[in-house]
Amino acid sequence: MLLSALRITNLQKAGRPLAPPLTGAAHGGGVQLRVKTSSGAGERLSQSKSMVLQDCDLQPQKPISRHRRNQSQHGVAGAGATGTSVDLQGEYLNKAKISEDGKKQRKNWMTTWVVLDAHQLTFYKESKQEVLANLKPGCKPERVDLCGAVVDWTTEKSRRKNVLQITTHTGSEYLLQADSYTTICKWYDAIKKTVNSLSNGSAGLGSGKPGLGRSNSTECLPKHSSLPGYGLVSPSTKQRSMVYRRSINMFTSSKLKHSISDSADKSGVKSRLKKFIIRRPSMKVLQEKGLIKDRVFGCHLLTLCEREGTTVPSFVKLCLETVEQRGLTVDGIYRVSGNLATVQKLRFMVDQEEELDLDASQWEDIHVVTGALKMFFRELPEPLFPFRFFELFVEAIKTKDLRQKVQAVKKLIHQLPQPNLDIMTLLFGHLQRVLACATKNLMSSQGVSIVFGPTLMWPEKETGNMAFNMLYQNQIVEFILMESHEIFNLDK
């Protein structure tokens, strides 16, 4: 600058005109040169240096090489690179955990102190300063690893506004929400940058330091908007991170399945199970050896009578005899239910063909005996009134003439198999003796029919109105009960 001032002073002394000042139009936007001349000899000339842009300055700059060997320092990349992680010291947000390792959980919102660091989110029940100050031993914070996680806005998982969703690589899902849209956007940007930085670092794109790209890349790293609807990474980077996460999940699942199958094969569990299934004895062999005994409850009536060599099962005879000995005058006999656990215990003993004494103290409640008898009839594969006779009995009970109705029902009953006929004759004769004590046990013919109607007969397939079927069941049993002397020839 001093040399330029001396040169101008010499030109003025020599009487030569000065060149016109340069303008920005001539040189692409340069700053005009200003010169001040002094009126006095003692005054010093002052001028400003020209700021004209040269052609070399207008040339586009070459992209910076990202290879470490071409850099003197590793922090050459701009601060706005995609992989830069942002740490947030802490703020109160609303958090809800809706899934853990792929298993859905009940959504429960709670206010928590959230801290973001280089690789994870930490949730405190209170601020970190309060935790350090109180030093509570049981207050362990909840940490969420952001490596391989996915962050996105959501409107389906919650009715609240300003909700973002974080899905970890293990399948856990978290919702974060804030009342302020600016606040939640700040956290969305920071978490998204941290996730992208961890994905790039774990995928082998560099040493994990922000700003470093692939070793052969000479592309400038673009800046992206972090508003909702825009990604923080380029499509190629996002695709790479998704492929990386998918490969981790596939590797983990395949490794677990492979290890389980290997352990099963090594111990020979599969082969031993196959051999056992092939060599297992049949039901008939087990019954012959006495390991499995024939059941009484749930057994077909004809099969049970053939096995016992009688037309009336011994359990039915024993129950009817016990009720006639000490239950005819009991209030609500057959209507009142006994203790179900005790009834099941009695049933188990009968099925195991153990020695049974219904006069024992554990069967003191007569309602347990009547409950077991009703259960026996209800669990028959085919009811006491066989399926093929159901519609015939319904048509017979519709007969208006009493004499014809009695003869029609009597004819059908005597067409039944012999075990069914003998059991029915013994049972209805017993119920007649129950009705004879109606003043003491308060059981009427209608009450007995309501109990035994659906117990002794039901259709094979529930067709039509169930209420009408039940009505016919009760009417048929009540009519047989009232006309049992004529139908079964009880007088003889």
pLDDT one digit per residue (tens) for the chain, 492 residues: 444 544 545 545 455 444 444 444 444 444 444 444 444 444 444 444 444 444 444 444 444 444 443 343 333 333 333 445 566 778 888 999 888 887 888 888 889 888 888 788 888 877 655 655 554 555 678 888 888 888 889 888 888 888 989 998 888 899 989 988 888 888 898 888 888 888 776 544 444 444 444 434 433 344 344 444 444 444 454 455 454 454 445 444 444 444 445 554 556 787 878 777 777 777 667 666 666 667 899 999 999 999 999 999 999 999 999 999 999 999 999 999 999 999 999 999 998 877 888 989 999 999 999 999 999 999 999 999 999 999 999 999 999 999 999 999 999 999 999 999 999 999 999 999 999 999 999 999 999 999 999 999 998 887 666 777 788 899 999 999 999 999 988 766
- CA dihedral 464→465→468→470, nearest 10 degrees, is 100
Phi, psi at 430, each rounded to 5°: -65, -40
Q: Where are the beta strands (DSSP E) in 423-488?
A: none
Cα three-residue angle 350-351-357, rounded to 5 degrees: 15
CA distance 154 to 177: 10
Phi, psi at 355, each rounded to 5°: -65, 125
CA distance 221 to 236: 12
Measured from the Cβ of residue 194, the count of other Cβ atoms closer than 10 Å reads: 27
Which pLDDT belongs to residue 7?
A: 52
Which pLDDT belongs to residue 243?
A: 47
CA distance 344 to 322: 18
Of the candidates 221, 137, 146, 147, the one whose C-alpha atom is nearest the C-alpha of residue 176 is 146
* Radius of gyration, alpha carbons of the chain: 48
Phi, psi at 323, each rounded to 5°: -65, -40
Q: How far is CA 455 from the centre of its chain?
A: 41
Contact 224, 233 (CB under 8 A): yes
Token pair, residue 399, equals 């007969």
CA distance 36 to 11: 14
CA 228 vs CA 78, 275, 363: distances in Å: 23, 61, 75
Contacts of 426 (CB under 8 A, 6+ apart): 312, 316, 317, 320
Q: Where are the beta strands (DSSP E) in 50-124?
A: 88-100, 103-104, 110-116, 120-124
Percent helix, strand and coil across the chain, each rounded to 5? 45, 10, 45
Beta strand pairing call for 150-153 and 120-124: unpaired
In this structure, the chain runs to a length of: 492
